[in-house]
Amino acid sequence: MGVQPTSDNIVQARERPKLVFYNTTTHASMEPPANYGGWTTAFLSEVTTRRSGRSPAGRVDKPWTIWSNLFMFVHDRHQVILQHLLKKPRWSIDALLRELPVSRSTLRRDLVDLERRRSVIRVHGGVMRPDFVHGEPTFDRRQRQHEEEKRAIARIAAELVPDHATVYLDAGTTTLRVAELLLPRRNLRLFTHSLRLMTLATTGHAAITCLGGEHRPGSDALVGNLTLKWLENLRFDVAVIGASGVGADGAFTTELSECTVKQRIMQRSRKNILVCDSSKWNGSAAVRFAAWKEFHTWVSDADLPASARHHARRHGIHLELAHQQEGVAA
């Protein structure tokens, strides 16, 4: 073919408009592997045409590396995209480009590949996590998200609960972490409508009561009129409340039945503690259950944006920020 290889592995060069691969062990040209995919040809062309130091004969002086390494690189890039979507369910193309050192065309091909595998859903100008489109994520999935932040928040929140208190624990992944730290304390009386929390009841010493109601699978909680009837006859010293999202207007949840239960709990409590990590700020939940003035304390993590801190303090809320490793307040 007139172009001699210069590497110990397969390299790629251009001769006129045709893409040619070379085996540098046998010094023979070869067809691209059958599973290379259309995006790979374009990806290699893009990388090669950007490189400097190519000779007039079309030789790549510093060729792209091993074929298998290319696939590893693409796989790693896909994993980074999925990790970003785990942290935030919707990303614009421009935002992802700021996070990944790739071109716009390469990113688009990655997203097409991930969509074919049903790992993402492409929308105009961006990409979304499938469960963000199809509905509320499962409890187990939410429990795995921001796990270290939730544990650090729980340590601070548990310290705010005094001995001999009657405490209501909301149904949620962060409040479940708080419950794990309160259950060993013998001098507490706990109430909840969380079935997940009740599965932990035998591991602790605190007295615990579960309210009745209708099972809601998304949160593994009991809700409805029966739950509200129970709450009419109860009073609490402290209520530990979770949220699906928080914003300038207050705290939000995803479902009306959860909203009414949270509101009734807060009405029956002398002190309301909000526990939610910084990822919930300006979250996508649609139903507001409380204004800021209804909380006494907000426990979050140290990554909480300045705008969120401003709103909390402007409404007179005591703000506690937990560091993930130390678990101490900021």
- Quick one: tokens of 64? 């792209």
pLDDT at 84 over 80: yes
pLDDT winner (highest mean) among 45-49, 57-61, 89-93, 215-219: 89-93
CATH of domain 139-322: 3.40.50.1360
Q: What is the CATH number of domain 68-134?
A: 1.10.10
Residue 4 scores a pLDDT above 90 = no
- Given this model, what pLDDT does residue 141 score? 64
Q: Where are the domains of the chain?
A: 11-65, 68-134, 139-322
325: pLDDT strictly greater than 60? no
Q: Which residue has the higher pLDDT, 231 or 70?
A: 231
| Model confidence, pTM | 0.58
The residues near 85 (Cβ < 8 Å, ≥ 6 apart) are 91, 120, 127, 128, 129
What was the pLDDT predicted at 24?
Answer: 39
Residues 239, 265 contacting (CB under 8 angstroms) = yes
Instruction: Indicate the average pLDDT of the chain.
Output: 77
Decide the pairing of beta strands 189-192 and 11-15: unpaired
The whole-number pLDDT of residue 133 equals 54
pLDDT of residue 16: 35
